[in-house]
Amino acid sequence: MSTSAHSESEPGTRQRASPECVPLLEAATKDLFRRNAFRITGLPVDATTREVARHADKLKMLAELGQDHHSHTAAYPMKPPPTLDEIREAIQKLKDPEKRLVDEFFWFWPQEFGKSQSDPAMQALAKGDPNTAVDIWAAREKDGALSATAKHNLALVYHVCALDWENYSVNNAVEEERRKKITNYWKGAFNRWETLAANEQLWEQVLARIRQLNEPSLPTGFARRMRATLPEALHKINAELALAFAESGKIDLARVHIRFMREMTQGLDNAEKVAELVLTPATNRLKQQIHLARQALQTDPATAHEAARTLIEHATPLLELFDLFFGEQEHFQKELFDDVANTVVNCLVAHQRKTGDNDTFVKLLQRALPLAESIEVRRRIEENIRIGTGNLRGKEFDSIYSLLKSIQDSKDAPSARLARFTREAIPALAKAAGVSGFSENHGYLSSASTDFKELFDSAATVLRGISLDAWNNHQDRVTAVAANDLAIKHASSPETQQRLAEDKTTLQQVGAQMSAAAAAQRQNSNNTGLGCLVVVGIFIVLGIIGSCNSNTPSSTTTYTPSTPSAPSYTPPQTFGGSPPAGSVYRIPSSASSTINTEKAEIESERATLEALESQIEALGREIDSDRTYLDRTSQYAIDQFNAKVARYNAMAQRAKAANAAFNQKVDSYNAKLHSYGR
């Protein structure tokens, strides 16, 4: 957007109905009255050059002594009072005819220039009595001959009050009642400025004042440019306030000022043009932040997440403001926000690779997602969020599986293992699955997604093992029943649910038998043997790792995987799979020390195999799913996928070896059972 008075003739620039008044646009900021030379100095607008010079010396002396000249003698004194530097700047502005005229336009006029000393309203202001001045102007506003000046001064009264309070509100809270008053101030100012913009009497006075000043550098055409630019200048003030409120996180107040801009159009639909003018400096600052983030990425990738966080914090309020100004329309900086989003992703990927910090990785990517304007950039962020979330879930699952394995392998009594499961495993499962809690009577208070089916079935299997051990080896029917009931609440697959239901029936039958024939059961307990344990052998075929073109730079790496078939193996029994025929509740009997020891080892190893093979099966499904959505443009995604396939193959090899050893032990155990006649 051009700021030159002659820019309409330059190629490639926006055409204007009339030239701009650059000094007016430069003055039209949210600090319009804070920087007004006449407010700072306390001088009337018609002060002569000699009066200005004499007053300047006095102000400098007071400022150096630390005294506030605004206390009693200035109209609308500034709080805090102006500094010595502000006073010097104000005096300098009064030496520039164009800037002086603009500041005169935005300060209080006497009814006749050159007669402020005899104007009752101006004298009331000089004595610090604005109420009397307002009463005088309100009466004059209805008088045709005097109305232009009175209306101009009343517009300023409302505008000064509105801007002083808004600048305060940017960093401070304002109660609702005060907010209503501020809105009324704006309405009072807007209503008069809209009328004054087309008031011939007002612009004749501006023209007369230019002639009175008689400065060679201030032609009469300046009045015409001021008149043409005034609506845009007034819009610019509210646009700057909208930007300030957005950057402070006060989006609702930013919306208020966007609405003000659109309501006060003066028949000129230039809100978007003004927005571009105001937002360009902010976008330039954002570009600098992008540059700093890229430098941080190169310097220290491990801490690049902080640069990403800072970039997000700078870009988010600016994006919200663009949305307020332009809505869904195309605007001049859509590509900038894509650049921000891509820079954030690059910083976070580097940080994650160096530190493995998936939590920060996912949280900051989620904050960056709204910044992406194009589908491609959004898809890149979403894919990285999915990868990071998968990493977090895998880590959490690993810890839960380790906990379940620890409970399963514990040598503690079944009742102690059940208590530990209730104390540690249930909260961990609820947190991982995102359910609201657990009730002893009703189980989990909300349903987990199908993603957690195997995890909950694994928990059910651990509980079933506790129940079996409690009854078969400790004759602890209370713990056996409690563990079975809890297992039923965790079971997800139909197979596990059916087996646990059968267990419950068996426990009930055994309990009835024990109650009816306790003596007989005790006499015969040593004659009851363990059924033959049958284990089905497991065969695992390794998955195939896809290939990647490593000669292409990482930022544009393409992925051309060989298409592996779905993992072709006979799944082992998982934590929650149907148990072998020998895993049953039985009336306790004595057996040889050797048989019992081998049986305990087999049960423990089988549970270990089931857990391992459950993980392999879940990982196989995850690989198939990942392959479908693999981002072949992302080296990071390819590396993650290949690492996962390698982990699958290693686990499968380990399971294959462990399964062979397990079946040998089962064969040996069954042979001994047969030889003992059990």
The pLDDT tens digits of the residues spanning 100-153 come to 999 999 999 999 999 999 999 999 988 888 999 999 999 998 888 889 999 999
Domain count, the chain: 4
Indicate if 547 and 607 belong to the same structural domain: yes
* Model confidence pTM above 0.85: no
Q: What is the mean pLDDT of the chain?
A: 78
> Using CA atoms in the order 21, 22, 23, 29, what is the torsion angle rounded to 10 degrees?
110
CA distances in angstroms from 574 to 461, 495, 514, 579, 617, listed in the order given: 9, 11, 32, 9, 9
Residue 482 in any domain: the answer is yes
Residue 523 in any domain: the answer is no
Mean pLDDT, residues 289-297 taken together: 93
Two tokens, residue 178: 């005060």
- Residues ≥6 apart with Cβ < 8 Å to 153: 108, 109, 121, 133, 137
pLDDT of 1 reads 33
Residue 304 in any domain: the answer is yes
CA distances in angstroms from 516 to 510, 512, 513, 521, listed in the order given: 10, 6, 5, 9
- Number of helical H runs and strand E runs in the chain: 26, 2
> 361-400, pLDDT tens digit by residue?
999 999 999 998 888 999 999 999 988 887 777 677 778 8
Indicate if 293 and 333 belong to the same structural domain: yes
According to DSSP H, which parts of 517-592 are helical? 518-524
Indicate if 65 and 109 belong to the same structural domain: yes
> 265-282, pLDDT tens digit by residue?
544 456 667 777 777 888
Cα Dmax for the chain? 129
Indicate if 635 and 582 belong to the same structural domain: yes
Residue 502 in any domain: the answer is yes
More confident residue, 617 or 569: 617
Please state which of the ranges 272-286, 303-317, 398-412 shows the lowest mean pLDDT.
272-286
Indicate if 315 and 178 belong to the same structural domain: no
**pLDDT-based confidence at residue 653 (cuts at 50, 70, 90):** confident
Indicate if 543 and 677 belong to the same structural domain: yes
Q: In residues, how long is the chain?
A: 678
pLDDT of 448 reads 56
| Domain C-terminal end among 340, 355, 390 | 390
Residue 139 in any domain: the answer is yes
For the chain, what is the radius of gyration of the CA atoms? Answer: 41
* pLDDT of 92 higher than 50: yes
Indicate if 548 and 467 belong to the same structural domain: no
- Residues ≥6 apart with Cβ < 8 Å to 218: 97, 98, 101, 210
Indicate if 331 and 446 belong to the same structural domain: no
| Domain C-terminal end among 233, 265, 300 | 233
Mean pLDDT, residues 167-181 taken together: 94
The structure tokens 């002594």 sit at 65
> 485-528, pLDDT tens digit by residue?
999 988 888 888 898 998 899 888 877 776 665 444 344 333 33
How far apart are alpha carbons 100 and 45 in whole angstroms?
9
Host H or E run for residue 443: strand 443-444
> 441-465, pLDDT tens digit by residue?
656 755 555 667 888 888 998 999 9
Q: Which of 368, 358, 360 is nearest to 390 (CA)?
A: 358
Residue type, 504: K
Range of the domain at 139: 18-233
Mean pLDDT, residues 245-267 taken together: 81
502-509 LR contacts (CB < 8 Å, sep 24+) = 503/464, 503/467, 503/585, 506/584, 506/585, 507/467, 507/471, 507/477, 507/480, 507/481, 507/585
| Domain C-terminal end among 173, 200, 233 | 233
Mean pLDDT, residues 202-226 taken together: 94
- Residues ≥6 apart with Cβ < 8 Å to 310: 289, 292, 293
pLDDT of 617 reads 86
* pLDDT of 220 higher than 90: yes
**pLDDT-based confidence at residue 183 (cuts at 50, 70, 90):** very high
Indicate if 542 and 615 belong to the same structural domain: yes
The answer to whether 161 and 153 have CB atoms below 8 angstroms apart is: no
Residue 460 in any domain: the answer is yes
**pLDDT-based confidence at residue 676 (cuts at 50, 70, 90):** very low
Residue 643 in any domain: the answer is yes
Indicate if 192 and 288 belong to the same structural domain: no
* CB-count exposure of residue 393 (10 Å: 0-12, 13-18, 19+): middle
Residue 625 in any domain: the answer is yes
Indicate if 553 and 454 belong to the same structural domain: no
Indicate if 115 and 148 belong to the same structural domain: yes
* pLDDT of 543 higher than 60: no
pLDDT of 412 reads 93
How far apart are alpha carbons 215 and 337 in whole angstroms?
47
